Amino acid sequence: MTNSARQTGLTAQEILAARKIHGWNELPTVAPAGPIRVWLRQFSSFLVLILIAAAVVALALGERIDAITIGLVVMLNAALGFIQEWKAETALASLRKMLSPQAMVLREGQEQIIPARETVPGDILVLTPGAKVAADATVIQAAELQVDESVLTGESVSVSKGLAEGEQEVFAGTSVIAGRAEAKVTATGANTEFGKIAHLTGSVGRKTTNLQNKLGQLARQLGIAALLVAAGVTVLGLLLGRDMNEMVMTGLSLSVAMVPEGLPAVVTITLALGAAAMVRQNALARRLQAVETLGAASVICTDKTGTLTENKMTATQVWTMDRTYHVTGTGYDPAGHIELDGARIRAADDSVLAALLQVGLYCSHARLTSDGTDWKMVGTPTEGALIALGYKGWCDLPNERGLLAEIPFSSARKRMSVLYQSGTEVSVLTKGAPEQVLEVCTQIMTQDGVRALLPEDHDAILQAFSDLAERGLRVIGLARRPVADQKITEKELTFLGLVGLIDPPRPEVRDAIELARAAGIKVIMITGDSPITAGAIAVQLSLTATQHMIGTDLDYLDDTALSELLQGEVLFARTKPEQKMRIVSALQKQGQIVAMTGDGVNDAPALKQADIGVSMGVRGTDVARDASDLVLLDDNFATIVRAIGEGRRQFANVQKFVRYLLSSNAGEVIALVVNIAIGGPLVFLATQILWMNLVTDGVTAVALGLEKSEPDQMRQPPRRKDTRILGRSGIVTIFVLGTYTGLSSLWIFFHLIDLGVDLARTTGFTAMVMFEKLSVVAFRSLRLPSWKIGWLSNPFLLLALGVTLCAQLLAVYWPPLQILLHTVPIGVDEWTLIGIFALPILVVPEVLKALGNRAHRT
């Protein structure tokens, strides 16, 4: 590019030529899933495919009612899944629309504001405070430029940029917080550092959740078993001389009985209700299974800046030669105060403190504003923290006309000075790195007044500086000198003291980490910030880390050494995106279910690699949100722990209603198989099986999915990754309960068959429905008896039981349903018989759980 281009910017012809070569300044994006794609995605489950196949077979056999009923269940399942996933997609689209990135460029000698996507290589960016850098660029003119690069590096402290070697490059996605500059664009779109990390994110393939894997495995097992049993019984019946049409319908009835038709709908409804509950708690699930997977997390890998911390620099301690002050409050809200030995103190009460606060307030370009509900800061985070400190000490506010001259901060001098007039007094006020401020001081201010700076004072100041820095604080030195000639010179200053600043942890995070630890979940900090700062935050949060590993050292570890390191308590600092991915992958190879939190583009690859990625909805970048499974709408780490509790509740409830549905189906299958083996009319018809599985069982299972969390849920360790939805105990429960209900229904059927097949079948059918409804009490908790969790604690279940029992009464006594289900009215004797066989189902499981709990306690 010519020198004239540097001075005036590109011409229209040059812009078109550059765009033709480099394209638009935007990242390659995967087209968002449209409504049709999201809708079709709902039919990918193996269980749903089995239901569709069953509906097709029923239709082919002329059983239209059966086919329509199954089809309605399939459509209900699809509609519920579609609504939730489409809401998540549109919510993310709304978050993107909130951001309309623009860029100020110099073109044809004029400063212009254009959409950031129109920026091309060769453009001259005009960078001012508050602006986002639209593309990678090289600084060609600069005046005290300060840039926040935390979205790329995780570094919480702003970075100086200028013409010096190593300071010239600014990067897309970072923010200007102070100064002004012009920079020539060198890379746009996918060629920027931002784009390279986004490409790394895209290299991670699409993942499936743990629940999807378990349900898929269960669906395949049930599907194969249903086909084998149905085919075997059909062949057996034909060999015994039974009618072919009858046996085909019997086979279909068996396959329908074995496959829990209500399961996909129940799972979808339960997860959708859980996702809706999480939105009310500020967590948006992009996939229904996301929250459940988080409930299985055994490790949370968390970023520091903006996730554990507030991303707002805060003064926490003030040191002077003879006093040390503690500062309360966080962020830029001046509601806190300054304390000396536990008592509040103001500038008017302490001359040294007053002088120090005045330097922090007056030697600054930052300012605080309030909209009545929140405080905002304009300027560098360090200056913003010093302004807030002055407010907390009730220092006199600066007079804008009092600033007479300035020597700006530079990375070489590492200090800033202003000439400031307050009333009739004119002073040089200086702040900066403690060593650089100290080297221009010859005096020190104490409570007894100003005196000469002695060598032992110099040593004491450096020791205090070292102590503060070792605690992870950024330390600022402050000094002043009254002048008579109104000339600004940095010499013979009076040293006032030191201020320690840090990006503080969010107040709720400590308790959230403690709750996660109690739940057996390991929390690992992985940050791009310095190990000292990260370690200080870890100490404040009681986050145990016996080892600190920085990114450069991590590169020397092979996978075995890294795996061994991860067995202990470790903190990772100065990490790069690919290193974060490697850490997550190493944990997954150990069999851990890994949740990764973050907000910056540097976190996106690891977010996608993790079993569940959790991004920040307010501060998070689009790349991070798109790579995540769960978006925290309030950027609150504590919300993750609440989501873990919700996820555990969801999985426990999935286990409960899967066992409930399968035990119900097992009873039907056993009754049919024994029925066919011994001969005689069918105990249940296909429409009756569909009624039991879809109408009565489905409604009850949904209500069972709304059970509240059990009292000790968050004191239990995370479940193993290979934990099955059923497990050995579940299979035994299903077999025992299914055997009892199946044989009981069959006994009732044959006991009454002499009174008529229709009466016997109706009574057996009704008995099975009653058995299934009462057995749900046993599944409300797999460990605790109902009186421990409260008989009335799930009103939805009580309502579901009432509705389904009323529906069964209609099935027996209402003529339209009698025709549909081939039922006849039954009398008091039949109901008494049903009650006798139903009572053990209600009593025995509760007694066994009570005895099991007593044995466990002893």
Per-residue DSSP letters for 277-324? HHHHTTEEESSTTHHHHHHT-SEEEE-STTTTB-S--EEEEEE-SS-E
Question: What single-letter DSSP state applies at residue 780?
Answer: S
Q: How far apart are CA 603 and CA 587, in angstroms?
A: 16
Question: In the structure encoding, which two tokens stand for residue 46, read together?
Answer: 């193996």
Determine the length of the chain. 858
Per-residue DSSP letters for 633-672? TT--HHHHHHHHHHHHHHHHHHHHHHHHHHHHHHHHHHHH
Q: What is the largest CA-CA distance in the chain?
A: 121
Q: How far apart are CA 314 and CA 327, in angstroms?
A: 9
Interhelix angle 64-97/46-60, rounded to 10 degrees, is 150
Told to judge if 303 belongs to the known catalytic residues of this protein, a careful annotator would answer: yes
Q: How far apart are CA 482 and CA 493, in angstroms?
A: 9
Catalytic residue among 66, 136, 148, 303: 303
Which amino acid belongs to residue 98? M
Question: In the structure encoding, which two tokens stand for residue 187, read together?
Answer: 């890379």
What contacts 422, CB < 8 A, 6 or more positions away? 358, 362, 396, 399, 402
CB 719 within 8 A of CB 296: yes
Q: How far apart are the first and last CA of the chain?
A: 83
Give the C-alpha distances (Å, rounded to integers) separating 31 from 27, 34, 78, 100, 855.
Answer: 12, 8, 22, 19, 57
Nearest of 133, 136, 138 to residue 173 by alpha carbon? 133
Q: How far apart are CA 285 and CA 127, in angstroms?
A: 37
Per DSSP, what are the bridge partners of residue 301? 524, 596
Residue 247 sits at φ, ψ, to 5 deg, of: -75, -35
Placement of tokens 């990625």 in the chain: 613
Question: In the structure encoding, which two tokens stand for residue 444, read together?
Answer: 């020190």
HSE toward the beta carbon, residue 747, CA cutoff 13 A: 10
Catalytic residue set: 303
